[in-house]
Structure 1
Amino acid sequence: MLNLLKRILIAAVLTLSCTPFLAQAQEFQITDPTGTAPAEYQIADVQVQGNERTRSQFIINASSLNIGSDIIYPGDAISTAVERLYRSGLFSDIKIYVTEQTATEISLLIEVEEQPRILEYKLKNIKRSQRRDLEDIITLTPGTVVSDAAVGRVKNTIKRFYKEKGYWYTEIDTEIKEVEDANDRVRVIFNIDAGDRLEVKDIEFNGNEAFSNRKLRRKIKPLKEDAWWKIFGKKVFKEEDFEEGKESVLSFYRANGYTDVRILKDSVYTYDYKGDKEGIKVLLNIEEGPKYKVRNITFDGNTVYEDATLREALGFQKGDVFNQQKFEENVNINKDNTDLNSLYQNVGYLFFQAIPNIEKVAEDSLDIHFDIYEDEIATIKNVDFTGNTRTHDDVVRRTLRTVPGNKYSRSAIIRTIRELGTLGFFDPQGIEPDVRPNRQDKTVDVTYRLDDTESTSNFELSGGYGGSGIGVIISTRVNFNNFSLQRALKKEGWNPIPMGDGQQLSLGVQVTGTGYQSYSFGFSEPWFRGRPTSVGFNVSYDFYNSRRSSFNVNSKYSLFSSNISIGRRLKWPDDYFSQRTVIGYQLYNIEGSSGALSAGNSNLFTIRQVIERNSLDNFISPNTGSKFTFSAEAAPPLPGFSEFYKFRADYQHHVPLVDRLVMTTQVQYGYIGYFTKDKRSELNRFLVGGTQLQQRQSFLYDNIDLRGYPGSTTESIGHVVDGRKIGGRMFSKYSLELRYPAVTNDQVQIIPYTFTDAGNSYLDFNTFDPFSVKRSVGVGVRLYLPILGLIDLSYGYRLDGVNVPNSTNDVQPGQWEFLFNIGAPF
């Protein structure tokens, strides 16, 4: 009995001295430490019990009670070891026993009870769509330990998910159920009460005097307040929207001169806004501060530019309201590349610094002083590029505007990025310049990181119905936009397509169900003999044979056309200009009659001169830039040839608005005249309506696309003379388009848009009226696939009608017209 009491006393003393987690193994004989002072011991042995899935050595290492290490006992070494093991999350119970103790050594036993492991987890009481979304973000995989930390992380993830969707009062209960015959695996069940999805019913501002609550509510977007007329979508509260909205309000104030504005306090809480209906109220207490105006702007240290030039770049004059956003942009970088930094960096001063000092004077004025550190001009030392796996180096190198030995220029880098993007061989969003300056020797290295597009060649195959009198349309075209003729002449070059030299090769076929066929072949070299001179040729054959015609029975006509072109870049008025000369030959063969066109053969020898200025950043869906094209074409009255002369002008402008929304305006005019009265022909006159795919007789006329209107010869916008539709000698066309690139990546581009079009053709100057037009409005979408190219689908609503000769079925206003086309409209 005495020995038993002694053993109980020793166990109690050990437990009190080593934390509540310690206990003594009753089967081991140990030395009684009672009354002894803490001493240093070396761990002689460590044993582990109770572990089935966790390695013993891992447990020993995690506890830091390694054999051979020294510990103070009694002390906190063992209790600390228990805490370490608990923090691993692998165990539900841990005990450490002292099994043997001598004057210098100690032996230990670690006994653990392992946490169960997960077989699976279930999310209950929620919608299927929410369950799928949660399963994508919850990281709780089978086989992991069921720990409080792991379960807590999942619950936090679920609450955060519902909070981001505007839910309040989300509650989660957890059940852990054992599964039979599952090798100690458990099922974790999360019973979810999503709570209430509350809407923002009131946004209130206090302390605002300069701007009304209504004005500030419009500026706190993307956070929105609910109202009875806002029927689309719930106006829920999201934390990220709230933070972004607060910053938008502050930016609005700062843009209007209130530099000292701050939000003193913000509150978000629920309240009963109508009976027992609960909503969210947002309250912001604002301190506006004074409205500052610019008084003096001074510079010190500038030698390259005078003060007046720098003030103009800064964009502020004395007395102007201080706009902080405008100030920061015009100092560092703005979209027009006219800021102070660009002003210097465009002429080589890469290491330029403009350090502003803004001093508040009086109560509402600012004095702005700049310390200018111009430094020396930086020279481009090395220029490199990476990522062009499908395009040869010389194609990239000839596009670069940054050349070793030249002065550094930010505008040259921006221009290079644009030029590389418009080649069509690289993803414009993936072109990144890596600028590495060396301040010591005043040089800079530039590397362009390129991202090849998925495919620079495409196979276009489309079909549709062109309306009454046209029938089924089938069109196919193969475009090799990065072709290499040099590699094509080598057997090993076909792997699978000879490519890499930036040349263009295209073959096309179009067939309609009413007897129209078109075949074309073209090739162009943008850099002939290593110079920025483009050379190309094109051959096409169009044929139409119909036994049913609005004008005659058994009408038949064809066109053989060929041309060669040569063009070059211009440096004046600026280097966005280019010119192109096209020399062509056309042979028309008309049997019977077609409208006002006489039967017989017509030969045309044409010379066309084109002047173009193109600053578009993207030819598929431009975001910025403009394009102006003027062409003058002449078919001189040679013996045996028909004659005419023609002028066309086209101007388009693209302006980014907000959130990737782009507005495009376009204006087109054209005129055709004749040198003589004897050899004039009605060929190449203007018909307006439809698209090129619907305009089956486009080779007889100069057809102008107009959405919302059909494209057949009888239904196009022209003139009826002696009961027959003829083309006009003049035309005008106006377009306004708003488009939003919803999806833009290597695999697909989806660009929905809305439009309004207006256009007309006129017999001559006497009937020309630029405001007498046929109008349409509608919607459309452009789809770009690397294999199929660009497809344009539009659905236009006509506001005006068109007279169809010899028919009671005129093209009526107030109707919709579906059209489709292939190729970029810009």
Structure 2
Amino acid sequence: MGKQVNNLGKSLPFRLYTKHIITALVLLIGLNLQAQNIPYSDGKKYTLGDVTVSGNTSFSSETIVTYSGLRKGAEIMIPGEDISSAIKKLWNSKLFSDIEIYLTKTEGDVAYLEIQLSDLPQLNEVKITGVKKGKFEGIIKDNKLNPGTKVTENLIVTTKNHLVNKYKKDGFYNTKVNINTIEVKDSMTTARVNMVVAIDKGEKVKISDIVFNGNSNLDDKVLRKSMKSTKKINRLRLLKRSKFIDSAYHADLSSLIDKYKENGYRDARILSDSIIVNGDKTISININLEEGDLYKFGDITFIGNSVYTDQQLNRMLRIKKGDTYNGVLLQKRIADATKPDADDITNLYQNSGYLFSSINPVEVSADENVIDMEIRISEGKPAYFNSVTVVGNDKTNDHVIYREIRTRPGQLYSKANVMRTVREFGQLGFFDAQEITPNFNNPNPNEGTIDMEYSVKETGSSQIELQGGYGGGGFIGTLGLSFNNFSIKDIFNGEAYKPVPMGDGQKLALRLQASRFYQTYSFSFSEPWLGGKRPVQFSTSISQTKQFSYDYTTGNADKSKSFNITGISVGLAKRLSVPDDYFTLSQALSFQRYDLNNYDVGLFTFKDGYANNLSYTVGLSRNNTRIDPVFPTGGSSFTATAKFSFPYSLVNGVDYEALLEEKTEQEAIYIDPDTALDQSNALTRIGEIDQERYKWLEFYKINFKGDWYTEITKNLVLKPSFEFGFLGAYNNDRGVIPFERFFLGGDGLGTYSLDGREAVALRGYPNQSLSSTDGGTIYNKFSLELRYPITLGAAAKIYGLGFVEGGASYNDFRDYNPFDIKRSAGLGIRIFMPAFGLLGIDFGHGFDPIDSTGSKNGWETHFIIGQQF
């Protein structure tokens, strides 16, 4: 018997096929029945003889038949629910694109069926157009468009809807997405298709107007201002966008209601809002409001407090009876979610050990628009740290971490101490500051205990220092190795070299700096916890520098004229507890020996000789910047230092006044053409006098630098800075020494002459161009930076910045004018990579002249390598 053409259904209900199926059966098997007269319930019962499978499928016949539920030997009705159920099961598998069941033959009461189907095509590859290549991976991942995925109509529709909604939320309100599939013709049995996803985002929709209806107490201007990210078009506004972003818009609707709550209208609500698409491809927003009545605070009662009195809590709350009701302020004074270290009641309890406390404001009366409040406090038991652990430190030894912890087992819980611990870990520089997480484990309110676990992620703490800059007539290069988590105790332990001994928090630096005109070598070492019990930092450094004179005939170094500097310093820095433990007192003793060999360049009036610099430096600093030392978001840092030499002129018995007078006389002889025969003797005598004056350098030097960090909005940080320096002399007859001076301008890297000078960066001008040839004895600098991070990941921290700054150097206080400065502004970018330190580039525009031409300096490019402004 031939194949029967009885289609028992695909996607339509089996009942719709009943009439045609039974008619076919009558014709094919000779039953004397009128199909149109047989109802659905009158199908014939058969024993299922066999079920075969045909069509384009990669699944085995046994698998398909088993999954359909049709079993050989089973009694089924044809037509009936068994066939319907089999079709439904196969469709629900979402594996097939076409399903048909045929009655192939009958032998008495035995029926034979055939399931004919085709597999859904698998996704071969996806081509995406209309967006940047970097977005492809995210689109594929979000929509699960991986090779081998079954391509269904549902997959295509959901992908399209997802992309349209995604870009609408980003402000592309007119996004269009078309998805086509193309069959892959090859020898493979499995059907495959390529998918083409064409995305047309269009332009971001701008907001032409925001209209408020129903507001009479707060005007439109106030309400628009409260919407921080949703702004209508204003060509004069530069920093705020007027593009519509769905997520930002809904957040701004909440801010709108908060603005009413801040002004006493606690019942204010948005009745409706609508977006109107205009013909010029802009939109207008209509917001219908109900303001409600104005409310004031009535009586505020604290209930459940025993640790703090009502007076103490009222001082923290700072809200009085009769004040205009402000629900937002009330919540912030109880618990400010925007500031983890806020001055609020919750932190008052948390910093006193009451981790399990809860504080809830409840309105108990609102008669005559006066709201009486009860602030209900459940103090709970004081919490104590049961255990304190650190995980994630693979290189850094435990004792280096645990000595920074401010939370100890058995100690009363303090949120402030937890936050301070996180900050100290970040300041070490051994861990990714963005990944330090305090985990509260096993809180037990009944016992009053908590387990504290700090999770850290180590980052590269050793650096290859590469610096480059131009100054002193040539390129200056620096190569250095800095090991910031060194372990000197393992220096003779061969197994500890991975590649160097690490883990004890010590710092070891080797540095070579060279140009055509000078070479310097230095070694430094510091131990942050001398003896291991107190935060007393010990540091020492040794350096050797050789500088050569400039040969004006060849433009090269004249190595027959040299200036050698040998230096050594030893210092101690102790963390203080008063006024607070952010303060550090540092002291250092240093010695430099300056040797001149035929060095007749005008730095001194003698070309052969020496000078000694024995000095003592004391400094007071305070640094409470937040967590990440690369990108602080709050706090401040300042340093004040004073450097002194011994006042030799008070004890050595030399009459410097007489020497100065004699030098003046000899200088007069030297420049007088009528005394030509005596000029050589005069010059020799001037050299002898200066050799006496500078045999032991006598000076004092004051420096101050302050930086402040304020997070204006999320991650947008404002950094004002101020610097000041002064170099003075104890004895005016002896004069200010030619060493230790200030050289202002440029990138701060052009320190080709290491005679104690300080190169002070001021962008927008050439290196050292804003000081006299001999350097200034006074300088001040003002700077304002606006920073925003691009990424703060562990592999690289990148942030952009804009700056304005100004500064000047002066030769003495008679010239000093802090407002007569050289000004500049510009843009820059910084990249911090653990292996190389800070890299960057700045484009600065100098607004003032640096020479007699009177023309502004204009643009300068500064490469910043291994240095931070």
Tell me if TM exceeds 0.5: yes
- Matching residue of 1:643: 698
CA distance in 2, matches of 1:125, 1:508: 51
CA displacement, residues 647-666 of structure 1 (integer Å, 9 cap, x when unaligned) = 22222211111131111122
Q: Distance in 2 between matches of 1:131 and 1:392?
A: 41
Q: What is the match of residue 53 of structure 1? A: 58
Report the alpha carbon displacement of residue 686 of structure 1 after superposing the two structures with TM: 2.9
Partner of 2:379: 374
Equivalent-residue separation in structure 2 for 1:128 and 1:518 (angstroms): 48
**Contact 1:351 1:378 (C-alpha < 8 Å) held by counterparts:** yes
Does 2:258 align with 1:254?
no
Tell me which of 587, 593, 616 is aligned to 2:593: 587
Query: Could you tell me how far 1:583 is from its partner in structure 2?
Result: 1.0
- The aligned counterpart of 2:568 is 562
Q: How does 1:303-452 map to 2 (within 5 A)?
A: 303-333=306-336, 334-359=339-364, 361-436=366-441, 437-452=443-458
Q: Distance in 1 between matches of 2:611 and 2:545?
A: 14
**In 2: Cα distance, 1:257 partner to 1:98 partner:** 77
Letter in 1 for 2:610: N
Secondary structure of 2:620's aligned partner: strand
1:214-251 CA-to-partner distances (Å, cap 9, x unmatched) read: 44334434334345667999955443233233233233
Change in Cα spacing, 1:610 to 1:89, as seen in structure 2 (3 Å) is same
Distance 1:555 1:754, change over 3 A: farther
The 8 Å contact of residues 643 and 674 in structure 1, kept in 2 or not, is answered as: yes
Which structure's residues are more often helix, by fraction? 2
Q: Which residue of 2 is the match for residue 675 of structure 1?
A: 730
User: Mean Cα displacement is larger for which, 615-624 or 414-423?
Assistant: 615-624
**Cα displacement (A) at 1:17:** 7.9
Partner of 2:824: 776
Change (3 A) 1:674 1:178: closer
Give the match for residue 17 of structure 2. 20
Q: Which amino acid aligns with 1:642?
A: L
CA contact (8 A) 2:160 2:177 kept: no
Question: Alignment length, in residue pairs?
Answer: 797
Q: Deviations over 1:371-424 (max 9, x none)?
A: 222222111110011111121111111111101111011000000000000101
Amino acid at match of 1:650: K
Moved more, 429-438 or 582-591: 582-591
Which one-letter code corresponds to 1:258 in the other structure? Answer: Y
| Cα offset, 1:68, TM superposition | 9.3
Give the AA of the match of 2:521: Y
**Distance in 2 (alpha carbons) for counterparts of 1:546 and 1:170:** 70
In structure 2, give the amino acid aligned to 1:265.
S
> Could you tell me whether the CA contact under 8 Å between 1:221 and 1:244 is conserved in 2?
no
Q: 2:636 aligns with which of 610, 618, 626?
A: 626
Normalization by structure 2: what TM-score? 0.82
Letter in 2 for 1:267: S
Shift of 1:733: 2.2
Q: Name the amino acid aligned to 2:636.
A: S
Q: Indicate if the aligned counterparts of 2:466 and 2:866 stay in contact, CA closer than 8 A.
A: no
**Any conservation in 2 of the 1:695–1:711 contact (CA below 8 Å)?**
no
| Amino acid paired to 1:493 | A
Structure 2 counterparts to residues 146-225 of structure 1, below 5 A? 146-160=151-165, 163-164=168-169, 166-168=172-174, 170=176, 172=178, 174=180, 179=185, 183=189, 185=191, 187=193, 194=200, 197=203, 198-225=205-232
8 Å CA contact 1:178, 1:184 repeated in 2: no
Structure 1 residues 92-115: Cα deviation after superposition (integer angstroms, max 9, x where no partner): 443446799999x99774613114
Q: 2:780 is matched with which residue? A: 732
Paired residue type of 1:534: Q
Q: What is the SS of the residue equivalent to 1:529? A: helix
Q: CA deviation at 1:703?
A: 3.5
Which amino acid is 1:117 matched to?
P
> What is the root-mean-square deviation of aligned Cα atoms in Å?
4.1
The amino acid that maps onto 1:249 is L
Match 1:112 to one of 116, 122, 128: 116
Contact 1:29 1:100 in 2 (8 A): no
- For 1:685, the equivalent position in structure 2 comes to 741
Match in the other structure for 2:760 = 704
Whole-angstrom distance in 1 between the partners of 2:579 and 2:229: 44
SS at match of 1:740: strand
**Does the CA-based 8 Å contact 2:15-2:40 persist in structure 1?**
no
1:813 paired to 2:856: yes
- Asked whether the 8 Å contact 2:361–2:376 carries over to 1, the reply is yes
Q: Which runs of 5+ in 2 are unaligned?
A: 653-694
The one-letter code matched in structure 1 to 2:783 is S
Judge conservation of contact 2:260–2:266 (CA < 8 Å) in 1. yes
Query: Which residue identity lines up with residue 47 of structure 1 in the other structure?
Result: V
The answer (yes or no) to whether the contact 1:626–1:652 under 8 Å persists in 2 is yes
User: Which residue type is aligned with residue 538 of structure 1?
Assistant: S
Shift of 1:427: 0.8
Gap change, CA 1:68 and 1:666, over 3 Å in 2: farther
Aligned residue in 2 for 1:269: 276
Aligned residue identity for 1:625: G
Distance, in Å, in 1 between the alignment partners of 2:75 and 2:262 is 67
Q: TM-score, normalised by structure 1?
A: 0.86
Are the aligned partners of 2:387 and 2:451 in contact in 1 as well (CA < 8 Å)? yes
Could you list the per-position Cα deviations for residues 516-544 of structure 1 after superposition, in whole angstroms to 9, with x for gaps in the alignment? 22221101011122122211101112222
Match of 2:161, SS state, is: helix
How much has 1:472 moved relative to structure 2?
1.4
The change in CA–CA distance for 1:46 and 1:330 in structure 2 (over 3 A counts) is farther
The CA distance in 1 between the partners of 2:240 and 2:381, in whole Å, is 57
Verify the 8 A CA contact 2:167 2:175 in the aligned structure 1.
no
Aligned counterparts of 1:328 and 1:479: Cα–Cα separation in 2: 48
Distance 1:674 1:343 in 2: 51
User: Which 10-residue stretch deviates more, 441-450 or 772-781?
Assistant: 772-781
After TM superposition, give the deviation of residue 429 of structure 1 in Å. 0.9
| Structure 1 partner of 2:658 | none
Identical-pair percentage? 30
1:662 partnered with 2:705: no
- How do 1:417-566 residues align onto structure 2 when only pairs under 5 Å count? 417-436=422-441, 437-453=443-459, 455-466=460-471, 469-513=472-516, 515-531=517-533, 532-548=535-551, 556-566=562-572
What displacement does 1:252 show? Answer: 3.1
Structure-2 residue corresponding to 1:721: none
Letter of the aligned partner of 1:621 in structure 2?
F
Contact 1:623–1:654 under 8 Å retained in 2: yes
Which residue of the partner structure matches residue 281 of structure 1?
284
Contact 1:43 1:65 in 2 (8 A): no
Q: Any stretches of 5+ residues in structure 1 without a counterpart? A: 719-724, 804-808
The 1:117/1:572 distance shift into structure 2, 3 A limit, reads same
Cα distance in 2 for residues equivalent to 1:507 and 1:378: 48
**CA deviation digits over 1:297-351, x for unaligned, max 9?**
2212212222232223234333444443333233224343322111111111111
Change (3 A) 1:810 1:424: farther
Q: Which moved more, 1:73-82 or 1:652-661?
A: 73-82
Q: Is the 8 A contact 2:230 2:241 kept in 1?
A: no
SS in 1 for 2:256: helix
SS of the aligned residue for 2:429 comes to coil
Contact in 1 for aligned 2:549/2:599 (Cα 8 Å): no
Distance of aligned partners of 1:144 and 1:379 in 2 relative to their CA distance in 1, 3 Å threshold: closer
Name the amino acid aligned to 2:788.
Y
Match of 1:605 among 610, 614, 617: 614
Report which stretch shifted further, 631-640 or 165-174.
165-174
The SS at the match of 2:292 is coil
Q: Distance in 2 between matches of 1:381 and 1:131?
A: 47
- SS of equivalent residue, structure 2 residue 17: coil
With over 3 angstroms needed to count, the CA separation of the structure-2 counterparts of 1:472 and 1:126, relative to structure 1, is closer
Separation in structure 1 between the aligned mates of residue 786 and residue 811 of structure 2, nearest angstrom: 32
